[in-house]
Amino acid sequence: MTTAALGSAGLWTTAAQAQASTPTSTSAGPAGKPVILVLGDSLSAEYGLKRGEGWVPLLEKRLAQQKVAATVVNASISGDTSSGGRSRFPSLLAQHKPGYVVVELGANDALRGLPLSDTEANLLQITKAAQAAGAQVLIVGIQVPPNYGGDYTRRFEAVFSKVASATKSALVPFLLKGMADAPDATSLFQADRIHPTAAAQPQLLDNVWPELRKLLPK
């Protein structure tokens, strides 16, 4: 998926910030199950959706269907940045003791025009902290449209792969792959043209699942 395709779909062109929400656990789960902690922003926090429609609750259902013993904790907050995630992460790590951490942050950094070096440093610190605690990490990337400038879009996209490479973490290059470049792209996004609809959430999960499944117990 290219940023040109994303831009031509007319998406992610407004620097809108989602309203804050409270992180929730999708399931307490029986004791002893490994925890998958999702640390994200509105793309993972069910912004504009009914509870249970987002890709993270759908992940829990897929785990059950495939008989993978794991508990999902969704610690995503709409509007969060990589800095916010970094500041929240130590307490989340101590509380949930995850075996797996899915990091989906960075989109709001771009919308706010924050330095790419800060985004990279924050994601790197989150990943290293998770690994130091014994967790495996999956970095979930995002892209910005070409109106940010060709150089910026390339460097922003590279942040996620750089962090994944430096820490030997798993990587999903683009969370919105298959949606922003779809023929009916507009219908897959809410009225703000930023957040995917409920109908698009299975595609988000399908983008994340292959890399996450490789990390989970067989």
Active site residue: 118, 181, 192, 206, which one? 192
Active site residue: 41, 42, 80, 83, which one? 42
Active site residue: 41, 44, 169, 195, which one? 195
Q: Are 208 and 175 in contact (CB under 8 A)?
A: yes
Rounded Cα distance, 32 and 30, in Å: 6
192 in catalytic set: yes
76 in catalytic set: no
Q: In sequence order, what are the beta bridge partners of 104? A: 40
41 in catalytic set: no
Catalytic (active-site) positions: 42, 192, 195
